[in-house]
Amino acid sequence: MGIKENLEFYGNNIPEHVNLVAVSKTKPVSDLLTAYECGQRIFGENKVQELANKQPQLPADIDWHFIGHLQSNKVKYIAPFVSLIHSIDSLKLLKEINKQALKNNRIINCLLQFHIASEESKFGLDIEEATLMLKSETFSLMDNVKIVGVMGMATFTSDEQVIRKEFIQLKDIFGKLKQDFFQDDENFKEISMGMSDDYKIAIEEGSTLVRIGSAIFGARN
């Protein structure tokens, strides 16, 4: 199956309230253009340099999502154009995004990334860290970032129950933050969860953004 057929599949199988992020990391610009020509407008990349290199080669109306671990010193390369950063895992990073967004006269939308997997290696906050961050004066003074939701990655396992439990955990975190900090903020509405192998479970558990790579573009090397 080609990119076009794969996108058609997701077009027909993802509910209307869920947006598809086409994860194009490692894939050539020609593949992204094929997806674009099929109507895909949201693309996800996880390396700053790769994203900054691809962006000027593709149409300007693409929504670029950054989905990987982001180092503060690299924010400046994507701040002029990035539309959503999925991977906020520290106040320091958020502060730098605010600074670079201000420089570019923009407001950058961000998601708080939570550590929901049982694996050690995955980045992300826990609820206590996020609460401290959102209560801090530093955060209250940031005018150029907007927190629009949460993101998480489930454990890499074939055990559906483990995956489901972790997605439910993320949904609960979203609900708690909504109640405590974003009750009257209609922008706080995104739950980014679900990839090629677990998007169905993620949608069942409340995902609003699925990040799908290999099932659209083929396996990565």
Ligand X SMILES: *Cc1c(COP(=O)(O)O)cnc(C)c1O
Site string for ligand X, 88-127 (x = CB under 6 A): ----------------------------------------
H or E, element range at 111: strand 108-114
H or E, element range at 10: helix 3-13
CA–CA distance, 61 with 180 (Å, rounded to integer):
35
Q: Which of 199, 220, 183 is nearest to 10 (CA)?
A: 199
H or E, element range at 88: strand 84-88
- To ligand X, the closest distance from the beta carbon of 219 in angstroms equals 8
Q: Which of 43, 114, 113, 112 is nearest to 82 (CA)?
A: 43
Q: Is 154 one of the binding residues for ligand X (CB under 6 A)?
A: no
- To ligand X, the closest distance from the beta carbon of 217 in angstroms equals 8
Site stretch for ligand X (CB under 6 A), options 11-19, 70-78, 168-176, 207-215: 207-215
Instruction: Give the residues across from 88 on adjacent strands.
Output: 112
Q: Is 23 one of the binding residues for ligand X (CB under 6 A)?
A: yes
Bridge-based pairing state of the strands 190-192 and 84-88: unpaired
Q: Is 68 one of the binding residues for ligand X (CB under 6 A)?
A: yes
Q: Is 18 one of the binding residues for ligand X (CB under 6 A)?
A: no
The count of chain residues that interact with ligand X, using the rule CB under 6 A, is: 14
Between residues 157 and 214, which has the closer beta carbon with respect to ligand X? 214
Residues lying near ligand X in the complex (CB under 6 A):
23, 25, 46, 67-68, 153, 195-197, 211-215
